Chain A
């Protein structure tokens, strides 16, 4: 038998467990066009919904005339706020505890806001009918600038008038949402006052959008016979959606089944609840028929959750040798018409207080003011943990600005300020306990890999050549060392709408030694079915190929808070390991019984329990599984399954060192990424191939954001980037080659030491690209220029610096 002839290493390799670059099992269906997405779901008698949306950014809705739409053959209903209000469903709670209009209740606050919902027999009739609904608006003054909004007499949220307390503390102005403060204000101000050097800068992280290839959508199906509502949708958090639907609709939670089928990318866009879900549910309850709603690309970009839009005013203090002594940050956060951020309740600005980054900064202060404007609501974590990419961009820009002030090399400035390996667990000035890290090792490895000194020498030569008129191209070296905070999170301080942010896994071993595992998370492309099976394979010694993984069906999967903020591996991955260990503990008792020895006399050996000192006497996990079901074992219940709900003791803190080398044409503003080096430390690596894929995808999204992608508004509140012609989504043509690398510093508190990686490349990538642009122009006097660095804006930098003669 193989088991007896193979070495432990060979047996381990056969499992394709942790560390194996196992091919993605999902791709068998995806590469053959056999995925099952929301829009693939077709139910008998299914109706279709479409929205009438406001062309105005701020207006009163004077009247809605449905007659012409209702007269169109095939139109079933036209819903307005008036129809929903008797049910109490014209408003819904946002994940940030604000309330958002489902259908405009007398007023619209952003362009594209939902005003009426048309239900028809097919998608085309619904769209035609939406155009026939006549809405009379009375225009109101538009506020698109958060600083202006805080001064304006114009009241955006009349429904909150007289309400001095927001969801997160006192409101200072009728367009103010919350103030959130962290750290020691007085101490930081005195450090700034006494410092040798203080660098000050406004760092703006522009508004952008996750823009998943599959837009948001759902199919609501109310079975009037059983009283059960099935809701299929593009949900990153299906269990949370079930609870929220139950709370706002009054339907009992056991009568709601939420199913997330295959999801074509989420990136934070699919965490929250949208008007389309509520309207589809209502329409299905009213008609007794299934109702499908799928938004188009323009609707996705202009109305579902945006990301960023943070104005970060920073001050950083240092000694003249470059040792940082303090950091001060005041952020003005533009939330749009409703506060629909998907942040844990106690963190209205997410984990923005990770903005001390990878540096040992003894004193710091952060204040964030949330502001309402006439823009779409949101503020989601676009491929990052809550507001972590804003924080990383802020500190990595401030380091560069300080380097200019000190006339120091930015790599050296980082090195002398890194938290040292022996300082972990590290208590940051803004309240976090970093679990583990070894920044100096990663940094030195990265600088050596790109020949940093050689690059600086080349750059110096280039500057001379430029000044001598020999070239019109500059060379920029963009440095970043980022620290993420992911894996939300400990229930003691992390909840969304009161739902604790634990996660779960249930594993059931079948008698023949294969298994099914179900998790509270949901893959949107991350490859959970591949990687979580690898965790189980390593923990219980069954081949990953024999383990099915299921997520996204609330009737079968254990409750969990879903997939965003890189929380799947840190939280559900930990639950998976813990559930597997419960199974292994029972398997040990079964093995001992079968081998007729005491429990303590058997030991784990890759895929089996063997008698200590007699490795030839063993029972494989497969044999144990069969016995668990089919042999009467005194004192043990039959069966072999376990469930774990894992409440992590802390977040995890992945980090990385990214370096971007960029050529910039000063006359056209065109850029070319010559080299991009990404070193990630995500702790224990489960599947190196998937990590590499995640890094490639994340850096490409970072490239998009830094170099062109934005949701721009004109002064009337029109979305100027509502199609993919204007909203930059990189193709293979714009995407450079990447070099990936790694160090491994396991998380000490995670059962398998893993930290999560999916979002690191976006967090680290954006400052790396942006710093490259800034670095190219640094010798010519540039200190700060806002993203996105498209060709036009780069040309303007060069022009502003007098480089066009």
Chain B
């Protein structure tokens, strides 16, 4: 499954980049996030409760960051395991472009899913993924704009 989107955030690129790498910000923005810790400079560990259709499960995951392209963007890859509910693994490329005082964030994510969540049909999963990323960026946008205007 591939997801792509473009989001305009009313904050300068440096602020956006820093926020995207701030575990506290991420914890607050990721829907259903229970725990998020920085295990290493390039590694995050998280526990997230997700509900996709009739399946609700706690996913435990690890995300590795590749920041060689900072602050124009970064790449990440990771894997989350939800026990009986299944698993997800994949990666994303995030690009940050300055546009006036604002930042245009584009991302392309490629996600492979398995187990029960995969069987629910791609219609349900694509919709849920879209909704979740929407929620994330709405919250993220709010937080970052607050920070940059504060």
Partner-B contacts on A (CB < 8 A): 52-53, 55-57, 111, 130-135, 298, 302, 714, 716-720, 722-723, 725-726
Contacts and interface: CB of A to CB of B under 8 A. Distances in A.
Interface string B68-89: 0000000000000001111100
Interface residues of B, number: 16
Given A53-B84, A111-B114, A720 B57 contact: no
Interface stretch (B23-31, B37-45, B115-123): B115-123
Contact of B119 (A130, A133, A135, A720): A720
B120 A723 contact: yes
B58 to A, nearest CB: 9
A120 to B, nearest CB: 15
Contacts of B118: 55, 714, 716, 718-720
A723 B83 contact: no
Contacts of A298: 116, 119
Nearest to B79: A139
B104 interface: no
Given A55-B114, A716-B112, A723 B84 contact: no
A722 B124 CA distance: 13
B73 to A, nearest CB: 28
A719 B116 CA distance: 9
Nearest to A127: B84
A55 B87 contact: yes
A55 B120 CA distance: 13
A726 B57 CA distance: 22
Contacts of B85: 55, 131
8 shortest interchain CB distances as A-B pairs? A55-B115, A722-B119, A718-B118, A55-B86, A131-B84, A726-B121, A55-B114, A719-B119
B113 interface: yes
Given A720-B119, A720-B121, A52 B84 contact: yes
Contacts, number: 52
| Residue of B84, B115, B118 with highest tally of chain A CB at under 10 A | B84
| Residue of B86, B112, B116 with highest tally of chain A CB at under 10 A | B116
A726 B122 CA distance: 10
10 contacts: A52-B84, A130-B84, A135-B83, A714-B118, A716-B112, A718-B114, A719-B119, A720-B121, A722-B120, A723-B121
A716 B86 CA distance: 12
A418 to B, nearest CB: 45
A131 to B, nearest CB: 5
B119 A718 contact: yes
A184 B118 CA distance: 46
Contacts of B115: 55-56, 111, 718
Contacts of A111: 114-115
A57 B119 CA distance: 13
A52 B83 CA distance: 9
B17 to A, nearest CB: 33
Contacts of A52: 84
Contacts of B121: 720, 723, 725-726
A56 B87 CA distance: 9
Contacts of A717: 114
A784 B118 CA distance: 31
A714 B57 CA distance: 22
B137 to A, nearest CB: 28
Interface string B58-71: 00000000000000
